[in-house]
Structure 1
């Protein structure tokens, strides 16, 4: 009777939240990095692996991404936007460099993962898990291995990169306090109401675009819309002291990170290892190699590109093959130049989504055993 009650949808979701909060508190007490993201991820994954009937809230990931998108968009002041406009060729170059580990990953998935050429490319490209799974279905490739490897990629990168930053020597070490939760802002009631109204307003078109299957829209649209508003707001209010300001409280960001941690933890449970142990082992090796290559490329980029704030750290997080929301949170807390990290990840995702269909058709045309995918989705 108790097992049946816990397995019901509301109880399973609430139990998952309780496990996630417990993981965040323990992780924070142990001094771990990003406690409200990594703590829930590890605790939720372990609980699922032990067989607890936990379920993820369907709108949890979307809500978390929307809050984080608004919070990160507040960093795009007019001065920051002007600086990014001057550096756009270098940002595009970094986005292209972020794709360099993909051919190596494709080779590894094909040789040791038992996948065909199209499936190997879809597992290796650093796009979103849902977007790559949709491409797999459109091209007649099983979507389960693609979703598994893409989810593991993000979860493993989020697990590895913060710890690697804690052990950096001297000048490469983050200037922020990775071991503490992000600081917050005490909200005046006008700023709080304005931020809440803006979040609700931007959620309406975001939900509409989500129904049309736009990629990563719950992160991208709130972030870009808030960035545009922040870059224009000073000019609008220069001669009209309306007292408008966008500020997201620390508690809201903590809850958003917790919801994302639950999503990532659902990809790290023992079920994935039991279903496809060889593929998950290959994915782990690919992620480790990609992270090491990104660190090396970031070091070269820091020496070649025009200097900026925390150059190696910024380039490293911009090149890391993790999710945009997770890498942006890490950049926010570690002292990296957040707008450059976000801009590079946005460009990388756009490149992957633009180039992937043509790449897959080219791969299929050279492979007699693979059917030629359709030019347009059915």
Structure 2
């Protein structure tokens, strides 16, 4: 049997669990049902000791699809004052610096982790890039991965109630009508979307973009939609499947995790995530007051989570995904550029790591 097919067959039970969780959440009208339902179902199963498989290469394909979907939000009719966008981006960078300073302090002084572990665990976003960089260091990869996974889990679960609390979005109206589930774009538009995905995959790698599988296709798709070459959207069913796969990707990160053995680390990560959520809420409100942009969009743009997850939430809920995606692209780019220098400054070569 070909390795790809064998890997897919091993992943099918995990996918079935994610779909079941999403369908159950959809049936009871939970917000973000396919994402949160799949994530909660697989997280509970993982923490209960079930051996779940990661989507593996499937997640890479999902990132390309999400990138194409995000690019479709950049339309010629898109409104936005460049000066106000710049001001909002500046607020986001200041908030990111404050979040990272707190996270590193909390992880080292309160949670008791080493300086390197605290630094990589404290980076607000870019989990894939951060994990790869941490592999070449003395950081505890288990703590780094768990901290980022718990942070994303806490943030995604908190999004619906927080958005409803700030009163800037109606979550009840974001679920597609059942008659629209089977909608598909026409053949020409489908070719453009596929071309954006394949071309963006090459462009992202050629430009060495952070999270190239996501932002490369987003750039090509945005160019096609901004110029009016195509106005195609991605089918709702594909959007729901993308949510399930992203939710599963979060849940399986807890596979092999024993609550008894890592309970302290989980509690510390959850506490840190809640404080960072409060940082994001305050920063989003400041950004809203300074720019007039939706506090909901600012919140999703400033949250210290993963770009794929939060951009997908913005797209699913229709909360200015172009605005949110732009902020996360800048955040990750800046973090990737400054992290090596920051590490060398905090942990100079030849010094013992505390």
Instruction: Quickly say closer, same or farther: Cα 1:198–1:354, change in 2 above 3 A.
Output: closer
Separation in 1, partners of 2:262, 2:9: 29
* Cα distance, 1:91 vs structure 2: 3.5
Q: Are 1:306 and 2:291 matched, yes or no?
A: yes
Q: Are 1:276 and 2:262 matched, yes or no?
A: yes
Aligned residue runs from structure 1 range 1-378, under 5 A: 9-80=7-78, 83=80, 85-99=82-96, 100-166=98-164, 168=165, 172-177=167-172, 180=175, 186-204=184-202, 215-232=210-227, 234=228, 244-269=230-255, 271=257, 273-303=259-289, 305-308=290-293, 311-365=294-348, 368-370=351-353
Moved more, 178-187 or 146-155: 178-187
Q: Name the SS for the 1:177 alignment partner.
A: helix
Q: Deviations over 1:215-270 (max 9, x none)?
A: 312111111221122223x3xx6xxxxxx543211111111111111101112457
Instruction: Quickly say closer, same or farther: Cα 1:114–1:272, change in 2 above 3 A.
Output: farther
Separation in 1, partners of 2:309, 2:176: 14
* Cα distance, 1:22 vs structure 2: 0.6
* Cα distance, 1:95 vs structure 2: 2.7
Moved more, 116-125 or 187-196: 187-196
Match of 2:3 in 1: none
Q: Name the SS for the 1:27 alignment partner.
A: helix
* Cα distance, 1:141 vs structure 2: 2.4
Q: Deviations over 1:122-155 (max 9, x none)?
A: 1111132221122222333232221221122112
TM-score (norm 2): 0.87
* Cα distance, 1:118 vs structure 2: 2.2
Q: Name the SS for the 2:345 alignment partner.
A: helix
RMSD: 2.7
Separation in 1, partners of 2:103, 2:176: 34
Instruction: Quickly say closer, same or farther: Cα 1:300–1:198, change in 2 above 3 A.
Output: closer
For structure 2, the 5+ residue unaligned runs are 1-5
Separation in 2, partners of 1:96, 1:197: 33
Match of 1:374 in 2: none
Contact 1:16 1:55 in 2 (8 A): yes
Q: Deviations over 1:74-124 (max 9, x none)?
A: 1112343x7364434213313313311211111111123221222212111
Separation in 1, partners of 2:18, 2:149: 18
* Cα distance, 1:331 vs structure 2: 2.0
TM-score (norm 1): 0.82
Contact 1:133 1:147 in 2 (8 A): yes
Q: Deviations over 1:275-332 (max 9, x none)?
A: 42212211100100111121122212222x2323xx2111111111121122122223
Moved more, 97-106 or 353-362: 97-106
Q: Name the SS for the 2:292 alignment partner.
A: coil
Larger Rg: 1
For structure 1, the 5+ residue unaligned runs are 1-7, 238-243, 372-378
